[in-house]
């Protein structure tokens, strides 16, 4: 039993947060991806890879995860400007108190979609206080198409 537990402990529990999906209007990126992993992933759009390579990696490290980048993003950074041009939306999980049918209070995570401005304007203490976890980044395909590299 201990061997099975240790094997399960070695597998990444963050794999569900590493994905690339697409629909008509957006490209969705799991927030646990690092920039390096995105650049090596065949499912990532070529133009998005070019933007990451040409603009984002000038001010960031390839080993940074999207989650870390967005969690600590400031509105005065160059990376903020790039993501603002891409019209990104961020799906976050926040801890919220809930009142059940038995009038018993419980807390759980609630999913919320935030704009880049909302997220960047929220200070780190508030993010930590709300137990904020960044789960997904949605990049607008129209904004990506009109972005000039």
> How many CA atoms within 13 Å lie on the side-chain side of 51?
21
d(CA 147, CA 143) in angstroms, rounded, equals: 6
Contact 91, 30 (CB under 8 A): no
For 97-146, the pLDDT digits (tens) are 766 666 666 778 889 999 999 999 999 999 998 889 999 999 999 999 99
Q: Out of 48-52, 62-66, 127-131, which region has the weakest mean confidence (pLDDT)? A: 127-131
d(CA 66, CA 134) in angstroms, rounded, equals: 9
Contact 139, 26 (CB under 8 A): yes
Q: Three-state DSSP class for 90? A: strand
Residue 10 has pLDDT above 50, yes or no: no
Q: Out of 16-25, 26-35, 96-105, which region has the weakest mean confidence (pLDDT)? A: 96-105
For 67-91, the pLDDT digits (tens) are 999 999 999 999 999 999 999 999 9
Q: Three-state DSSP class for 2? A: helix
Which parts of the chain are beta strand (E)? Answer: 20-22, 26-30, 89-99, 105-115, 133-140
**16-55 burial code (b ≥16 CB/10 A, e <16):** ebbebeeeeebbebbbbbbbebbbeeeebbeebeebbeeb
* φ, ψ dihedrals at 16, nearest 5°: -60, -20
Domains and CATH numbers, the chain: 18-146 (3.30.465.10)
> Mean pLDDT score of the chain, rounded to an integer?
86
pTM of the model: 0.82
Residue 62 has pLDDT above 50, yes or no: yes
Question: Which residue did the predictor score with more confidence, 74 or 16?
Answer: 74
Residue 103 pLDDT: 65
């Amino acid at each position: 039993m201990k061997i099975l537990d240790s094997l399960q402990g070695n597998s990444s529990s963050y794999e569900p947060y590493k994905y690339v999906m697409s629909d008509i209007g957006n490209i969705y990126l799991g927030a646990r991806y690092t920039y390096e992993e995105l650049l090596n992933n065949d499912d990532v759009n070529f133009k998005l890879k070019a933007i990451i390579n040409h603009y984002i990696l000038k001010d960031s490290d390839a080993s940074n995860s999207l989650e870390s980048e967005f969690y600590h993003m400031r509105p005065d950074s160059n990376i903020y400007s790039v993501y603002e041009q891409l019209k990104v939306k961020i799906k976050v999980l926040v801890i919220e108190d809930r009142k059940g049918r038995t009038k018993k209070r419980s807390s759980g995570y609630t999913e919320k979609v935030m704009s880049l401005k909302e997220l960047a304007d929220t200070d780190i203490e508030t993010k930590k206080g709300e137990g904020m976890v960044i789960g997904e980044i949605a990049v607008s395909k129209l904004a990506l198409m009109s972005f000039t590299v």
